[in-house]
Amino acid sequence: MKRIFSAFLVLSLAGILSACQGSKKEPELTTPSRSDVNLSGPKKRVGIFAFKNKSRYGQDKLTKAAVDILYSELEKSGLFELYERAELSELEKEFDLIESGKVNATSAAEPGKLVGVQAVLIGSITQFGIWEEAQDYLVYKKKTEIAEATVDIRVVDVTTGRIITADSGTGRAEREMEQTLGFGASGSYDETMADKALRAAIAQFINNVIQRLNEMPWQGRVADLGKQDAQDVIYVNAGRKSGMPMGSKLVIYKVTGKITDPETGAFLGYKTQKIGTAEVFDFTGEDLSIARVTSGAGVSRGDIVVLEKDAGKF
């Protein structure tokens, strides 16, 4: 009888352990689905500055991870030509000076021409934390690791220094480890938790950032002048790589001066004069298109070109 009871006890215990066996649940992240955004004109050139870490955790490791995640998400959209920090060092210095109040926004317009970026993303990690929550019921133990991050982002027009949009997102990642009667999952701190919390935070605003960047009217520059078949042509710094459509109609503007706020001295925009129109008929290399000048005269290297449909927004 005792043997039968012992066997029954073992089988019952095995059943309980099988039903309640400890487990390790990987972080579950709820991220918004990416909205469908159609490319509006050629791809805009967008730069990402190094993030600032205003939390007390991680420093360089966190900021690098945030930039990498943001770069990856923008790259997936297929809407932009992205520039890394090394290519934006001079421009980044100018924006740091502006934020410190040492110079006004006027000086930020010029360095942007070095790489031709239209907008930059300036981000900061304003809050980050990792902690554990534990539950112990003698035969059952549960430990939850939690990482939470808050990321702020600003999208800035390089030409004017104006903020196109500002947003913020908070993301959380959790990992659960459970044990029953000593059986189940255990483990040390998961170093990927920080990245997952940052990704969840950035996911909260990435669609808005993409939408607002895409709404910006595209701008290009006249890179050079020439003639083909006795006709004047211009070389524009956007080609196959940026998705410049063949047959695009362009309007050419010459910058005649800058407009500043009479009270603050802040740069408000350019004085421009329409000097001609052109139509794209060919490409050379990946980054240049060739456009036939269809009207006007006096075009020179550095003049601004916009799509005809956006001329009223310029």
Q: How many structural domains compose the chain?
A: 2
169, 308: one domain: no
Which of 215, 242, 270 represents a domain boundary (last residue)? Answer: 215
Distance from C-alpha of 285 to C-alpha of 240, rounded to nearest angstrom: 8
146-195: pLDDT as tens digits: 999 999 999 988 877 788 999 999 999 988 766 554 544 455 556 788 99
Asked if 98 and 161 touch (Cβ cutoff 8 Å), the reply is yes
pLDDT at residue 261 in the model: 82
- Domain holding 132, by residue range, is 21-215
Do residues 40 and 180 share a domain? yes
Same domain (yes/no): 193, 209: yes
- Given this model, what pLDDT does residue 79 score? 92
Q: For residue 8, give the DSSP letter.
A: H
The distance between the two most distant Cα atoms of the chain, rounded to a whole number of Å, is 110
Residue that has been written with the tokens 């078949």 in this structure: 229
The low-confidence residues of the chain, meaning pLDDT below 70, are 1-37, 40, 85-115, 133-141, 177-190, 314
**DSSP strand pairing (44-48 vs 119-136):** parallel
What Rg, from alpha-carbon coordinates, does the chain have? 28
Q: Torsions phi, psi of 18, nearest 5? A: -65, -40
Q: What CATH number corresponds to the domain at position 66? A: 3.40.50.10610
Are both 190 and 256 inside the same structural domain? no
- Distance CA(222)–CA(305), nearest Å, equals 7
- End position of a domain, from candidates 185, 215, 245: 215
In a domain, residue 69? The reply is yes
pLDDT at 174 (0 to 100): 86
User: 30 and 77: one domain?
Assistant: yes
11: in domain: no
Distance between CA atoms of residues 173 and 153, nearest Å? 20
Q: How confident is the model at residue 92, as a pLDDT?
A: 65
DSSP category for residue 265: -
Report the CATH number at residue 303: 2.40.30.230
- Do 84 and 180 sit in the same domain of this protein? yes
Any domain includes 181: yes
Q: Letter for the amino acid at 100? A: S
Question: Three-class SS of residue 158?
Answer: coil
> Is residue 33 one of the residues assigned to a domain?
yes
pLDDT for 21 equals: 44
Query: Is the domain of 195 the same as that of 228?
Result: no
Whether residues 201 and 233 share a domain: the answer is no
Please give the structure tokens belonging to residue 73. Answer: 């998400």
- The one-character DSSP state at 78 is T
Of 193, 215, 237, the one marking the end of a domain is 215
Mapping DSSP to helix (H, G, I), strand (E, B) and coil, where does residue 224 land?
A: strand
Same domain, 150 and 29: yes
Beta pairing partners, 37? none
Whether residues 184 and 65 fall in one domain: yes
Angle at 157 between CA 155 and CA 158, to 5 degrees: 120
- Residue pair 274/280 in contact (Cβ under 8 Å)? The answer is no
Q: What is the DSSP letter of 161?
A: -
SS3 state of residue 155 = strand
This prediction has a pTM of 0.74
Q: pLDDT at position 60, please?
A: 81
The total of other beta-carbon atoms located within 10 Å of residue 13's CB is 11
Q: Provide the residue type at 142 as one letter.
A: K
Whether 303 and 225 have beta carbons less than 8 Å apart is answered as: no
